[in-house]
Amino acid sequence: MLLALATSASVASFLAIRSFWPFLVAACCYAVAQSGLGAARQALLAGLVAPGERTGVLAHVQSTVNAGLAVGAGLGGIALYSGTRCGFLTVFAVDAVSFLAGALVLRRLPAVTPVSLARGPALAVLRDRPFTLITLLNAVLLLRMPLLSLGIPLWISEHTQAPEWLVSALFLLNTLAVAAFQVRAARGVTSMGTAVSAVRRSGWILLLSCVVFAVSAAGVPVWVVASVLLAGAVLHVVGEMLHSAGSWQIAFGLAPDGRVGEYQGFFGTGLTVARTAGPLLLTALLVTWGVPGWLLLGGLFVAASYAMGPAVRWAERSRPAAPASAPSGTPDAETVQA
């Protein structure tokens, strides 16, 4: 709740800030509060939802998030269309109020039973080498996110004859597809084995989407280029949904009881790495290299997805099994320390 309130305050501060350095401080506060809120929300979900149901619940959450993105994009579009100072400030005000509402919703949730933790090293997740490897591999697969927001728009404007408004159409297609089908895509992911399989399939589908996007540079009529780009976007969102479902199951399944927030917070840094390194990498691959860059990017997706299986098995071997007599939901000291 405090992190939601901090996020609201950070957004609300944009209503009054008019110079660079205060803006920088507020933006950093917003990023920190958002990252912490994500990790705390995952830990809260782990405490309220049975392990076998977490992926399905996260799929519902992701569908709702994408519906919210669509609404937010619509509000932003209205503000851009108006082009007025009042319009832009209204968007910030609505966003700040939405986080206040989120804090109130969190207040209505039941309390999570505290877990007794054995004393162990601080930030034990940083010493968990298998989980670190899994986080890095997931960061590679998360390059699909800046691919949609940056790589594909650059490709359309630099290498194809398609109209630039198609960028918005592809983003809308992605948002609505996730909102409509993410739950269905996650329905079969119920174990570590099915999660690894989903991630592996996502790698091949993302490779195929890269190949289709590369074909759009061929000298064909504009309507054919648009059709090819739409086909690539459909493949991209299918790969995205499979990867999301598999990665959720893996991240929760490998997090020791009582350290879910710590592990989810670290796992979430993969998204930050992808968003930070993605623009430079995708610009070099797609704008500079063109078609070969698409093929290399697709190869990276497949390589990371296939490496996930051995990494997960390594992580499972490194985790000692909990004693059979341990009460449900209460981890033993050795398991927590590991």
Write out 150-180 in H/E/C secondary structure: HHHHHHHHHHCCCCCCHHHHHHHHHHHHHHH
Record the pTM: 0.83
What's the whole-number average pLDDT of the chain? 88
76 vs 95 pLDDT, higher one: 95
How confident is the model at residue 47, as a pLDDT? 87
CA separation for the pair 199, 192 (Å, rounded)? 11
For residue 258, pLDDT over 80 is answered with: no
Alpha helix (H) ranges present in the chain?
Answer: 2-13, 20-48, 54-82, 85-107, 129-141, 144-146, 152-159, 166-186, 192-215, 222-254, 260-282, 291-317, 333-337
Give the model confidence (pLDDT) of 200-232 as tens digits. Answer: 999 999 999 999 999 999 888 899 999 999 999
> For 60-64, 73-77, 224-228, which range has the lowest pLDDT when averaged over its residues?
73-77
265 vs 258 pLDDT, higher one: 265
As a whole number of Å, the end-to-end CA separation of the chain is 29
CA separation for the pair 115, 221 (Å, rounded)? 62
Instruction: Determine the distance from the C-alpha atom of residue 106 to the mean position of all C-alpha atoms in its chain, rounded to a whole number.
Output: 21
